[in-house]
Amino acid sequence: MRIYGLTGGTGSGKSAAARHFESLGIPVVDADRVGHDVIGPGGVAEEAVLAAFGNDVVTDGTIDREKLGALVFRDKIAREKLNGIVHPAIRLEMANRCAQFAEAGHDIAIIDAALLGENGKLDDYFAGLILVLAPVETRVARLTGPREIAEDEARRRIAAQSPPEDKVELARWVVENTSSLEELHEQIERITGELKQDAA
């Protein structure tokens, strides 16, 4: 199986790209969703996160991702602590899900994760990286629109991530998501054709 990475900053349209890949028959592992699972009730990282952050991140007895996100986006040390707990668990679960896709007969899978390439390199098991880019002001507008995030919070979240443009040299495909959803879909369809050629 060939595994490709899909990345981009918050508000870039990475999730819309992932949904279109799925609609074209390519399975996608959403690292954010996996992260939700590993810290959810009974998740493998739940106890460690509670031990590290305590009741400040709990609502009705379970970890509240909004509270946890607000805390770690503001505090680099807290963010590093959380990453140290959840990233190993997420990596293991993503590997398990890719193995399940392979068993089901898929020869391509995509891992959708904002943090791919953060250290300037891509793990060896990736056959290539797809990077979704959009200007900061466009990203702010997307975050403050349907998601109803306050503008200062949206800008804080964008600033907390490394600039996606720094990953251009790592990427095999760069998707410029500056226009319509139709244009985004056209780019994803073109890439899908190349992924299927690779797999063949």
- The sheet carrying 126-133 orders its strands as 28-30, 108-112, 2-8, 126-133, 173-176
Q: Is the pLDDT of residue 51 over 80?
A: yes
Could you tell me which CATH class the domain 1-27+107-200 is placed in?
Answer: alpha beta
With beta carbons less than 8 A apart as the criterion, state whether 4 and 129 touch: yes
Per-residue tokens: 136 = 């900061």
pLDDT-wise least confident of 52-56, 115-119, 138-142, 188-192:
115-119
The pLDDT of residue 37: 93
Cα-based angle 84, 39, 86 (whole degrees, multiple of 5): 15
Could you tell me which CATH class the domain 31-105 is placed in?
Answer: alpha beta
Q: Please determine whether the domains at 1-27+107-200 and 31-105 fall in the same fold group of CATH.
A: yes
Would you list the domain boundaries of the chain? 1-27+107-200, 31-105
pLDDT tens for each residue of 65-95: 889 988 888 888 999 999 999 989 998 999 9
Per-residue tokens: 6 = 């899909």
Q: Is the pLDDT of residue 146 over 80?
A: no
Contacts with 7 (C-beta within 8 Å, 6 or more apart), sequence order = 14, 112, 113, 114, 115, 116, 117, 129, 130, 131, 132, 164, 167
Q: What is the mean pLDDT of residues 130-156?
A: 89
Q: Residues of the chain with pLDDT > 70: what percent?
A: 99
Q: At what angle do helices 31-39 and 65-74 cross, to 10 degrees?
A: 110
Q: Residues of the chain with pLDDT > 90: what percent?
A: 73
pTM of the model: 0.83
